[in-house]
Amino acid sequence: MVENNDDRHVAGLGESGLLRLLLPRLHGAEMLLGPGDDAAHIAAPGGSFVISIDTMVQDQDFRLRWQNGSVSTGYDVGWKSAAQNLSDINAMGAVATSAVLSLTLPAETPVVWVEEFADGFSAAVRDLRATECAVAGGDLSAGRELSVSTAVTGRLVSAAPILRSGARPGDVVTVCGRIGAAAAGFALLESSVSEDQMNSVEHGFVAGQHRPRPNLAAGPLAADRGATAMMDLSDGLRRDLPRLAESSGVAVALDAQRLEEVAAPDLFEWASGFGYEPEDFLLRAGEDFALLATFPTGTELPECFTPIGTIIGSAAGGMVLLDGRPLEASGWDHFSQGRSQGSEKRPD
């Protein structure tokens, strides 16, 4: 049968396939770095800058009401929108200089939700110490579903941004920040365990899902210490590490012994109790906005960076090994509506 290309819908392509079609069709002035990293790098008179945009859509990226009866407040959504966009700038080794917001709101959205959104956004900028980030206000649109788009700019602290593509054989692979709280929080919110029934560890996990706390000092610090490649762990090691390996054209050997060191406190015990295989849960866990970075061997690592593996050689297309076996990439894909096995890779 002849395939009729005009019948294709976006659901059939997946996010990565769609980006592969879309990005080559976007043209404008030359930029220093195009799509494929956490932010783009733009030449400008007086100095270059990085810029990133991201949208959170109701029932895709957050729920107003979860399976277990919990609600996401406007404060939660505002916080998370700020945190994940600031993380993209952090992951380039840059310091955020401005954020602009665009809110799309159904007519029946309570006004108090919008007020809390602004409070949560502002609180994240303050509490995560994005002290140079101006919050440049608001575009409002009406729509049938609630969504938030945020664009953030940043200034570089080093001569160039730290890309996904810079890892070299011999480099040490590190993580800054603990992984798994946000994913455990997600699992709890989508379970039948109500907030009343949760213990304090579980409450902490839910807080990690609603209000992640990327370490915004760590990205510029890593750049300063000579990190060779960096990205944030928005989709989990199992999905993001293969992206870094592919961009850099290298093979990564993960050290299974070290993984528990970067897990959120009590995560492994909780995951076992909740019916997950702890290491697998950890590898799939995104949304903590921890940093994944590589450094030349022998680098005195900045305090929060923990080694979890080594770049063992070059590999066209990239490769990640765990205990000597290839790690299958998997994780979240917006258009496949769920977590999928396979080679889907999202380059943003």
Question: Rule CB under 8 A: which of 41-100 touch a second copy?
Answer: 42-47, 49, 51-61, 97-100
Bridging pattern class, strands 229-232 and 40-42 = unpaired
Contacting a second copy within 214-233 (CB under 8 A) = none
Based on the shown chain and the rule CB under 8 A, indicate whether residue 138 belongs to the binding site for a second copy. Answer: yes
**Binding test (CB under 8 A) with a second copy, winner from 64, 68, 73, 143:** 143
Q: Which is nearer to a second copy, 21 or 256 (CB)?
A: 21
**Binding test (CB under 8 A) with a second copy, winner from 91, 92, 133, 237:** 133
**From CA 205, how far away is CA 146, in angstroms rounded?**
25
Residue type at 338 in one-letter notation: G
CA angle 335-213-67, nearest 5°?
Answer: 50
**Binding test (CB under 8 A) with a second copy, winner from 23, 71, 194, 342:** 23
CB of 192 to a second copy, least distance (A): 26
CB of 196 to a second copy, least distance (A): 23
CB of 273 to a second copy, least distance (A): 32
**Binding test (CB under 8 A) with a second copy, winner from 65, 71, 129, 145:** 145
Please report where in the chains the tokens 């592969």 appear, as a residue.
20
**Binding test (CB under 8 A) with a second copy, winner from 9, 159, 200, 325:** 9
- The H-assigned helical ranges of 190-265 are 200-210, 218-224, 237-248, 256-259
**CA-CA-CA-CA torsion sign (276, 282, 288, 289):** negative
Q: Are 162 and 223 in contact (CB under 8 A)?
A: yes
Q: Which of 236, 255, 208, 267 is nearest to 76 (CA)?
A: 208
Based on the shown chain and the rule CB under 8 A, indicate whether residue 131 belongs to the binding site for a second copy. Answer: yes
Residue 253's DSSP bridge partners are: 310, 321
Q: Which of 303, 314, 299 is nearest to 167 (CA)?
A: 314
Q: Which is nearer to a second copy, 88 or 246 (CB)?
A: 88
**Binding test (CB under 8 A) with a second copy, winner from 104, 174, 209, 247:** 104
CB of 7 to a second copy, least distance (A): 8
**Binding test (CB under 8 A) with a second copy, winner from 77, 83, 94, 130:** 130
**From CA 48, how far away is CA 159, in angstroms rounded?**
10
Q: Are 78 and 124 in contact (CB under 8 A)?
A: yes
Contacting a second copy within 323-342 (CB under 8 A) = 334-335, 337
Q: Are 237 and 289 in contact (CB under 8 A)?
A: no
**From CA 85, how far away is CA 21, in angstroms rounded?**
24
CB of 5 to a second copy, least distance (A): 7
Query: How many positions of this chain bind a second copy (CB under 8 A)?
Result: 93
